[in-house]
Chain A
Amino acid sequence: MAATKEISIGDISARSNAGETELQGETMALNVGPSHPTTHGVLRLKMELDGDVVKKCEPVLGYLHRGDEKIAENMTYNQFVPYTDRLDYLAPLANNVAYAMAVEKLAALEVPERCEAIRLLCCELARVSSHLLGIGVYGMDAGAWTVFMYTFTEREKLYTLFEELTGARFTTSYTRIGGVARDIPEGWLGRVVEFCKGVLPVLDQVDTLLTRNRIFMDRTVGVGVISKEDAIAYGLTGPNLRACGVDLDLRKDKPYLGYENYDFDVPIGTTGDCYDRYMMRAEEIRQSVRIIRQCIGKFPEGSYYAEDARKIFAPQKAKVLTSMEELIQNFMIVTEGPQVPAGEVYFEAENPKGALGFFIVSKGGGVPYRMKIRGPSFCNLSILDKLIPGHYLTDITVILGSLDFVMGECDR
């Protein structure tokens, strides 16, 4: 007859007292590889797991490093605009504007009010687009497929607007040095107002699905907490920084494009966990809609490009084909690029993902000598090897989704 044996599950000390060998394992190496649905883009995480808990995490980047900075040294300033689209490819208009403003700072060029208003409108629409996708994909990662479908439908409406304005759904290449490529079409502003009317109810629906959702809150509240000091030390910017409680928004603190004339709030978080970061983005969409409505309300008349920028902005086609002086000017600008004086400039714009910075060194002429692109996602991701250890494996999805990074601007 077999003797009965008492086993207590989970009580290691009891087992070791009973003389059984302790259940101790080694850590397991897990590779969340570059091709993975969770990692938004090609990010690789080399992790060491102790059971379900992550002990070490090392992010590996560079799988989308295309050599943008080297290419910039061989392209004229206007030729580089399409490459800026593909940096943060969820909000291409915002990148275009940031780049154009950096070069215009170098050239000490002022653009007219209408051009500024168009650019501001583009930036805010791009912000809405990027945050909609951020929330949608975040919901999808946490298991809520419907949110993804709702936000993508709204983004399709935005794509129609962008296509009408610029000719492309996204990757717009809309700005030029000294202005924008073309003026806004007839009735476009009315359609933007219609869109704004439509996006807020959808945002409310997403709110009812996610914000007080028991499962979503269990997964995100208290997970991935970043402290204020860490956020500043690691160079975080954008909603990730503001969720930690740091009040830094370049639109308010170093205003550009006329942001100081508009009345809007900047949401600031309290705990810096994943839930806060989600709430940041949802609230920022509402604030962006507020800015868009105000901007359209007092949209200035005028020219969409700096007409006195003789050596920088190519003149209109009608004049080029009829007048000699404009013909020569067009030829010089197209072949040699916009003539920008020598100097060094650094300009940061408040992009949806964070602060996108362009450091341009020019020795005169139409081609930059050195261009450094400070991608916000690069800095946002640097916190990963401190943030992830200590969390469960299933929290990785939620943390990565909440940081809302894009590998295009991380690797350039």
Chain B
Amino acid sequence: MAESDLAQLTERFDFISERKSSDHPALNCPAGMLVDFCRALRDDFGYDMLVDVTAIDWDVQSPRFTGIYHFLSTTKHLYLRIAVDCTDDLKPSLPSLTELYAAANWHERETFDLMGIHYEGHPNLTRILMWDSYPYHPLRKDFPLAGIEVPLPADDVAEVTKATVIPAPMMGGPFVSSGDGPMSQTEPSARDESWTEKKEKPAK
């Protein structure tokens, strides 16, 4: 049944192409046609629930960001994945689906917060998981896991406690190896080896 849906969709819309996937049928869609395509999905093909909106940062590739949407049809019990490439690498933006699916509201806010993708037409595109004045988009590949030092969001607390948002100390874990190359490089090691218990941390 999923194959017949896929066949019908590729036949009806010529801007859709099939995407390689390990499980559910997946399609590529250009950003400009996304809203119309999703309207057709919801009204004509019965994909009435938007279960997930997210994005992938491909780092050095271009296009750099790909928005991923997962739809579920509650009547046919089928999943569908739609992948949309963002045309602009520096200021990625996609059309918002909030008019079609109310669930898109918070999911798009989260993707904006963590990845920095701007959704045009979103009623309230503000940060949802990080605090409002946070300057970075943490899930991007050029942002380190430990974080970047910024002032604490609350001024009065920062004044009293002298605490700031420090980069988390990675020394001692996580131990991950790179996976390719000679054994000496793939051995598990600390991520930041510039300082240890014996050697002082280098001054900033």
User: How many residues of chain A are within 8 Å of chain B by beta carbon?
Assistant: 51
Query: In whole Å, how far is B181's beta carbon from the nearest beta carbon of chain A?
Result: 11
Pair B70/A346 contact, Cβ less than 8 Å = yes
Contact A65-B129, Cβ < 8 Å, known A106-B22, A357-B51: yes
Pair B23/A232 contact, Cβ less than 8 Å = no
Pair B22/A108 contact, Cβ less than 8 Å = yes
B96 CB within 8 Å of chain A? no
Bound: A330/B20 CA distance, A: 31
- For A378, what are the chain B residues with a Cβ–Cβ distance below 8 Å? 106-107, 110
Bound: A379/B51 CA distance, A: 8
- For B81, what are the chain A residues with a Cβ–Cβ distance below 8 Å? 344, 346
- For B74, what are the chain A residues with a Cβ–Cβ distance below 8 Å? 232, 246, 248
Q: Which of A370-412 contact B (CB under 8 A)?
A: 370, 372, 374, 378-379, 381-382, 386, 411
- For B145, what are the chain A residues with a Cβ–Cβ distance below 8 Å? 67, 70-71, 73-74
- For B56, what are the chain A residues with a Cβ–Cβ distance below 8 Å? 361, 369-370
Chain B 88-101 interface 0/1 with A at a Cβ cutoff of 8 Å (1 = within): 00000000000001
Chain B 21-52 interface 0/1 with A at a Cβ cutoff of 8 Å (1 = within): 11110100000000000000000000011111
- For A355, what are the chain B residues with a Cβ–Cβ distance below 8 Å? 51
Pair A61/B70 contact, Cβ less than 8 Å = no
A347 CB within 8 Å of chain B? yes
- Of the listed stretches B6-14, B157-165, B172-180, chain A binds B172-180
Question: Interface residues of B: mostly helix, strand, loop or mixed?
Answer: loop
B5 CB within 8 Å of chain A? no
A136 CB within 8 Å of chain B? no
With most chain B CB atoms within 10 A of its CB, the pick from A232, A237, A253 is A232
Pair B105/A382 contact, Cβ less than 8 Å = yes
B138 CB within 8 Å of chain A? yes
B186 CB within 8 Å of chain A? yes
Pair B186/A335 contact, Cβ less than 8 Å = yes
Query: In whole Å, how far is B57's beta carbon from the nearest beta carbon of chain A?
Result: 7
A300 CB within 8 Å of chain B? no
Pair B51/A235 contact, Cβ less than 8 Å = yes
- For B129, what are the chain A residues with a Cβ–Cβ distance below 8 Å? 61-62, 65, 411
Bound: A230/B105 CA distance, A: 13
Bound: A370/B64 CA distance, A: 14
Query: In whole Å, how far is B180's beta carbon from the nearest beta carbon of chain A?
Result: 8
Q: Which of A195-216 contact B (CB under 8 A)?
A: none
- For A253, what are the chain B residues with a Cβ–Cβ distance below 8 Å? 77
Pair A76/B176 contact, Cβ less than 8 Å = yes
Pair A359/B68 contact, Cβ less than 8 Å = yes
Pair A344/B186 contact, Cβ less than 8 Å = no
